[in-house]
Structure 1
Amino acid sequence: MLSTGALRAHLLAARLAGPVATPRENSLRSYRLFAARDPRVMLGLSPERTWDEPELLRLMADRCGVSADPAHVSGPDAIDPERTVAALDAFAERLGRAAARRVPVLLGTGHPHRLLGFYAGLADALSAAGCPVLTPAQGRCIDITTRFGVRTYNLDYVRGVALVREPGGGLRVVKPAHTRIRRCRSGWRCRTRRSGTGCFRSW
């Protein structure tokens, strides 16, 4: 197990904390889109109240340590490594409680090419601890709003981890988007053809 210092060093070296690869302009754009409830950044969620851009900036500064200065509109952005380590510790504690109580768990990723192995390892460990690893809605069609319009993908699970596949079976890296499941003839509706166990749109 990594020490706190080694974990912090890894986060900085990988640019997961400290100066990060996401420029300030991109972060502010995401805040603006979230405030406007643009479906591309809502992850399918409906906030209980309205958030404006200044509130979101203050929230991100408090939770992640980004600059709270609204005049900082360009250049590199940064995430506080100490807050990141603290959040990872809280995440580990939450996983430990779930394993101890053997509660059902649901895991998924929008970045399967990079994070599938990580989440699959969690699924294996939680399953070994007695937690049921859930795989609901497998094979169902999901509408995802992209910059090219609405596209239909297929919900699948690999080693207990939810992800979406492009028509034809390829994995898709999901950027923040709105998702919607529709019923088709076999129980889930969309203009699709059946192929194996999943629904795929005919392009």
Structure 2
Amino acid sequence: MQYRNSKMYVPTDKGSLSVHGTSYVEVNSDRARLNVRVSSENKSLEEAQDKNSEISKRILSSLSDYGIDKENIHSEDLSVIRNYDYNTNTLTSYKVTQLITILIDDFSKIDDVYSLVIENGANDDISIDFILSNPNHYYNKTLKRATQDALNKANILAKNFGVKYNPIPYKIVETSSPLYSITYYSSSITYAQGISPGLVKITAEIEATFSTYPY
């Protein structure tokens, strides 16, 4: 009688395990960004531009005299809006607007700078953002925590499903970015309003895929 040698069948196909790693931190902002709009309106575009330029130059000069570094003052290009009387379909005036952005690292100076721009002609919306001077530093720390979160989840899922896995993922996708994953809080302010720095939320997310094997 012949007997066939037989072995237990062991599946060798690899599987995969995908996890989503996420983390976030909230830190106090260390920089204020004051957004100042200067607007002028006139039937003459040239006169509106000249008036707006005069106010903007006065504000910029006052900021320089106060001691704000030039590198912390940014003046955007002019924008022009044409106003019409839609009953008669005629052009009535031009509105010229310029945005001046001022970065302030010493929060005790915010009230002074706000008063300064008002006194020198700022006549449109003024808002303040509390931001970070080095956001990438915090984002990279948060990203590292997100990778650890992915590893922890992979370990839990592998154990619960009874499979082995290679702890080195064969695919990693960073689904967040510093540009879109940092939440700043902005608000309009009025003179003498109590201003205090706000929290900044930094979020990092990844997707990681690991190879799995049966026990």
Higher relative contact order (CA 8 A, sep 6+): 2
Q: What TM-score do the two structures reach when normalised by structure 2?
A: 0.20
Relative to total residues, which structure has the larger strand share, 1 or 2? 2
Relative to total residues, which structure has the larger helix share, 1 or 2? 1
Question: Could you say which structure has the larger radius of gyration?
Answer: 2
